[in-house]
Amino acid sequence: MSHTTEKLFFVDPYLRTFEAHIVEVQPLAQGFGVILDKTAFYPEAGGQPCDQGKLQGHPVRQVFEENGMIVHVVENPFQKGEKITGEIDCEIRFDHMQQHSGQHLLSQTFLRLLNAETIGFHLGKEEVTIDLNILNLSLENVEKVENQANQVVWENRAIRSYEKSPSELNTLPLRKLPELSETIRIVEIEDYDWSCCCGTHVQSTGEIGLIKILKWEKYKGGMRVYFVCGNRALRDYRKKMHLLKSTSLLFTVGEEELPTRLEQWKNERKSLEKKLETTRKRLIEAEKEAWLSKAKTIPYGQLIFALFENRDIEEIPLLARKLIQQSKTIVLMGENTSKKLWMGCSNDTGLDLRHFQNICAEKYQAKGGGGPCWMQWTFDHGEMFQKAFQELLSRVESMEIGKENA
Ligand SMILES: [Zn+2]
């Protein structure tokens, strides 16, 4: 059957509730598709998402247009012929109207000031973007565009829509010419912008509220511009104020002093890191002697092993590497909290520690690896880590190195 749904949102984009008759119910994969004789529900089209709301109290999951018919996706099996009340979520709708009208205004301003055409528009739940066919965009130009767009907001110009036949279109300074040959809906911002558009719009530019560009980036050979209008701009301003306030509390300085304070903090941190590095080196040097005096004699030379608890995992490899600078030395060290294991040997032992890779990786499920004289592993389980440490230790002590591959 064919039926064209009467689009109430074109007549009155502020209409919130309406009564209608069900002309068809289609079973769909995700519920039922309800077609009404008329509707205030806007279907997803032209970069604007569909409306949300209820049909006779039942939530509408999705709204789309198919061959002139608007399909409302619901979970409830309505009956054909039923008279129902529809109610759209007017907060979401008004948000879409603010962003969409703001987009027309912004696109026209980019065209007027920078000769940049809008070739894409996306209205998301969080982000609103337009894609421009220009190669780059400076902060100065962004601010110029913002200033003029907001000026037009303050002038509170009327926004109206009307239909034009293809032959009448040449009389309008349209941003983009449509490809269709049928009657076209024009949305006009009084004496400023004329666009072919099927979206819902506010009735005057003042209702758009503040237009704020948030960021811009290179996108597919052009520029993508992120912006917010009206209530979204207010929410964004609020969010940023909270952020600034909490950060300035954290650093106990006024908002204006934050950049200086953070710069200072960065430098302080750098110099502290340098001091820590020097102290660490000195500590390791002193510790080296103590460990060497505890070395155990084995057939390859000497073995130094240790299992640490809660020790800085940056220090352990430093210490181990320092120790294997000694001739004929093997080092095995582990750290309980991080479940990390390090193994190293001096070149003159002639050993290849990669023979231990299979034991750690396969038998004890560790991740890691290395080279002939240096290996390190991280374990998932504490018990595996302990067992691996003991097995490696006993193999080194009993000269069972390389036997796995023999
Ligand atoms: Zn539009």
31 CA distance to ligand 1 centroid (A)?
A: 30
190 CA distance to ligand 1 centroid (A)?
A: 15
| Last residue within a domain, chosen from 23, 57, 88 | 88
pLDDT tens sequence across 276-335: 999 999 999 999 999 999 999 988 789 999 999 999 999 999 999 999 999 999 999 999
Is residue 230 situated within a structural domain? yes
Is residue 283 situated within a structural domain? yes
Q: Is the pLDDT of residue 406 over 60?
A: no
Give the model's pLDDT for residue 366. 95
CB 62 within 8 A of CB 55: no
Give the model's pLDDT for residue 2. 57
| Last residue within a domain, chosen from 266, 293, 320 | 293
105 CA distance to ligand 1 centroid (A)?
A: 10
Q: How far is CA 100 from the centre of its chain?
A: 23
51 CA distance to ligand 1 centroid (A)?
A: 15
Q: Does residue 137 share a domain with residue 217? A: yes
Is residue 285 situated within a structural domain? yes
Q: Does residue 270 share a domain with residue 231? A: no
Q: Does residue 196 share a domain with residue 317? A: no
pLDDT tens sequence across 198-234: 999 999 999 999 999 999 999 999 999 999 999 999 9
The four Cα atoms 20, 23, 26, 32 give a dihedral, to 10 degrees, of 10
Cα(332)–Cα(298) distance, integer angstroms: 13
Is residue 276 situated within a structural domain? yes
Cα(344)–Cα(199) distance, integer angstroms: 69
Q: Which residue in 310, 371, 381, 365 sits closest to 342, CA to CA?
A: 371
Q: How many Cα neighbours within 13 Å face the side chain of 342?
A: 23
Q: Does residue 130 share a domain with residue 74? A: no
> Domains in the chain: how many in total?
4
CATH number at residue 159: 3.30.980.10
195 CA distance to ligand 1 centroid (A)?
A: 7
Helix, strand, coil tally for the chain in percent (to 5):
40, 30, 30
CATH number at residue 345: 3.10.310.40
Cα(145)–Cα(153) distance, integer angstroms: 12
Strand partners, 53: 60, 88
Q: Does residue 317 share a domain with residue 300? A: yes
6 CA distance to ligand 1 centroid (A)?
A: 20
Residue type, 93: R
293 CA distance to ligand 1 centroid (A)?
A: 80
Is residue 1 situated within a structural domain? no
Q: Does residue 200 share a domain with residue 234? A: yes
78 CA distance to ligand 1 centroid (A)?
A: 33
Q: Does residue 217 share a domain with residue 182? A: yes
Residue ranges making up the domain that contains 168:
94-245
157 CA distance to ligand 1 centroid (A)?
A: 17
**For the packed helices 231-250 and 90-114, what is the interaxial angle rounded to 10 degrees?**
90
Q: Does residue 108 share a domain with residue 233? A: yes
**How sure is the predictor about 402, in pLDDT bands with cuts at 50, 70 and 90?**
very low
Q: Does residue 32 share a domain with residue 115? A: no
Q: How far is CA 120 from the centre of its chain?
A: 20
CATH number at residue 82: 2.40.30.130
What protein residues have CB closer than 5 angstroms to ion ligand 1? Answer: 197, 199
Sign of the four-CA dihedral 315, 318, 321, 322 = negative
115 CA distance to ligand 1 centroid (A)?
A: 19
Q: Does residue 363 share a domain with residue 273? A: no
Strand partners, 55: 58, 86
| Last residue within a domain, chosen from 66, 88, 110 | 88
Is residue 385 situated within a structural domain? yes
Q: How far is CA 241 from the centre of its chain?
A: 21
Q: Does residue 237 share a domain with residue 98? A: yes
155 CA distance to ligand 1 centroid (A)?
A: 20
Q: Is 400 helix (H, G, I), strand (E, B) or coil?
A: coil
Q: Does residue 80 share a domain with residue 174? A: no
CB 308 within 8 A of CB 333: yes
118 CA distance to ligand 1 centroid (A)?
A: 11
pLDDT tens sequence across 35-70: 999 999 999 988 899 999 999 999 999 999 998 899
pLDDT tens sequence across 243-258: 999 999 999 999 999 9
Cα(397)–Cα(182) distance, integer angstroms: 89
Mean pLDDT calculated for residue range 70-91? 95
CB 278 within 8 A of CB 304: no
121 CA distance to ligand 1 centroid (A)?
A: 9
Give the model's pLDDT for residue 404. 41
Give the model's pLDDT for residue 405. 39
